């Protein structure tokens, strides 16, 4: 899906502007139609699309309010992953639920956990330790048996497995849940890892480690540069926030 058509990316892009000075003192949560609203000095906050920033549960709204309360003299959107997710849910996903769910489900066709290294033996073992429990969960919880392969050449998955994955994604009806699942899936490259996280079968930290077995193996051997560390830290913040939002729904 192109960035022009992707409702998640379009909504997120609207919050990538320059930092602005903090214009409020208090960030609070108050009941509102459809859930709980973010209030800044008593005024209703709005998304970049000018819609009211209302979360479906108090717990989600409090995650958002905490990010606003933690801002310093300037507001830095990149340090507010739950707020950015909420903006995406309200401004983008809510109007394109079916399209976004379909985009998420397509990750099952090339799920990270289905592609394994041929060597070295240490990496093969680490992948098996991280990925095999995910495939076992998919078979037990979803009734989906996925096929694995060695290397990066595409392997076709059974239609029964893909159908089960689509059904699991389609069970998420709320725009915040779909937005959170989209973030977790796209950041890991694994729908199955994202679904396990969403259902509480994996902690966010365990899911992140599983999705980065290959990268961590290479870092252990060759080290990691500062810029790569910063990029990964930013992705982790987004993943962790998505997991927290999902748990708070």
> In three state form, how does the secondary structure of 108-125 look?
HHHCHHHEECCCCHHHHH
Tens of pLDDT along 134-147? 999 999 999 999 99
Q: Go through 187-199 and write b for each residue having 16 or more CB atoms within 10 A of its CB, e for each that does not.
A: bbebbbbbbbbbe
Same domain assignment for residues 77 and 135: no
Same domain assignment for residues 90 and 110: no
Same domain assignment for residues 116 and 227: yes
Tell me the backbone φ, ψ of residue 34, rounded to 5 degrees: 90, 0
Strands 54-55 and 74-75: unpaired
Task: Give the DSSP letter of residue 107.
Answer: G
Task: Please tell me the number of Cα atoms within 13 Å of 228 on its side-chain side.
Answer: 8
Q: Which percentage of the chain shows pLDDT scores above 90?
A: 91
Tens of pLDDT along 99-145? 999 999 999 999 999 999 999 999 999 999 999 999 999 999 999 99
Structure tokens at 6: 């992707």
Same domain assignment for residues 49 and 136: no
- Residue 234's CATH number: 1.10.3580.10
- Where does the pLDDT of residue 244 fall: very low under 50, low under 70, confident under 90, or very high at 90 and above? very high
Residue 159 inside a domain? The answer is yes
Residue 81 inside a domain? The answer is yes
Residue 85 inside a domain? The answer is yes
- Residue 18's CATH number: 3.30.2180.10
Residue 118 inside a domain? The answer is yes
- Where does the pLDDT of residue 9 fall: very low under 50, low under 70, confident under 90, or very high at 90 and above? low
Parent domain of 39: 7-95
Residue 109 inside a domain? The answer is yes
What pLDDT, on a 0 to 100 scale, did the predictor assign at position 25?
A: 97
Structure tokens at 87: 């903006």
Same domain assignment for residues 148 and 163: yes
Nearest CA-CA partner of 165 in 114, 115, 102: 102
Residue 225 inside a domain? The answer is yes
Structural domains of the chain, count: 2
User: What is the sign, positive or negative, of the torsion defined by CA atoms of 205, 211, 213, 216?
Assistant: negative
């Amino acid at each position: 899906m192109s960035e022009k058509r992707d409702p998640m990316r379009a909504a997120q892009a609207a919050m990538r502007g320059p930092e602005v000075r903090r214009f409020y003192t208090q960030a609070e949560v108050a009941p509102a139609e459809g859930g709980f609203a973010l209030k800044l000095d008593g005024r209703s906050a709005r998304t970049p699309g000018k819609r009211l920033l209302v979360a479906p549960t108090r717990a989600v709204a409090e995650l958002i309010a905490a990010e606003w309360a933690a801002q310093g003299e300037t507001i830095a959107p990149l340090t507010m992953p739950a707020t950015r997710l909420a903006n995406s849910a309200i401004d983008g996903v809510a109007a394109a639920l079916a399209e976004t769910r379909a985009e998420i489900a397509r990750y099952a066709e090339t799920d990270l956990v289905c592609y394994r290294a041929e060597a070295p033996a240490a990496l093969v073992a680490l992948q098996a330790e991280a990925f095999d429990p995910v495939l076992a969960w998919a078979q037990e919880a979803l009734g989906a048996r996925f096929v694995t392969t060695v290397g990066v050449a595409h392997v076709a998955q059974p239609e029964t497995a893909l159908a089960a994955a689509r059904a699991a994604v389609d069970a998420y009806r709320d725009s915040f849940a779909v937005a959170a699942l989209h973030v977790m899936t796209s950041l890991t490259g694994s729908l199955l890892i994202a679904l396990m996280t969403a259902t509480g079968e994996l902690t966010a930290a365990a899911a992140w480690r599983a999705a980065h077995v290959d990268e961590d193996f290479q870092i252990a051997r060759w080290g990691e540069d500062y810029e790569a560390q910063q990029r990964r830290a930013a992705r982790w913040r987004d993943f962790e926030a998505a997991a927290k939002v999902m748990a708070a729904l």
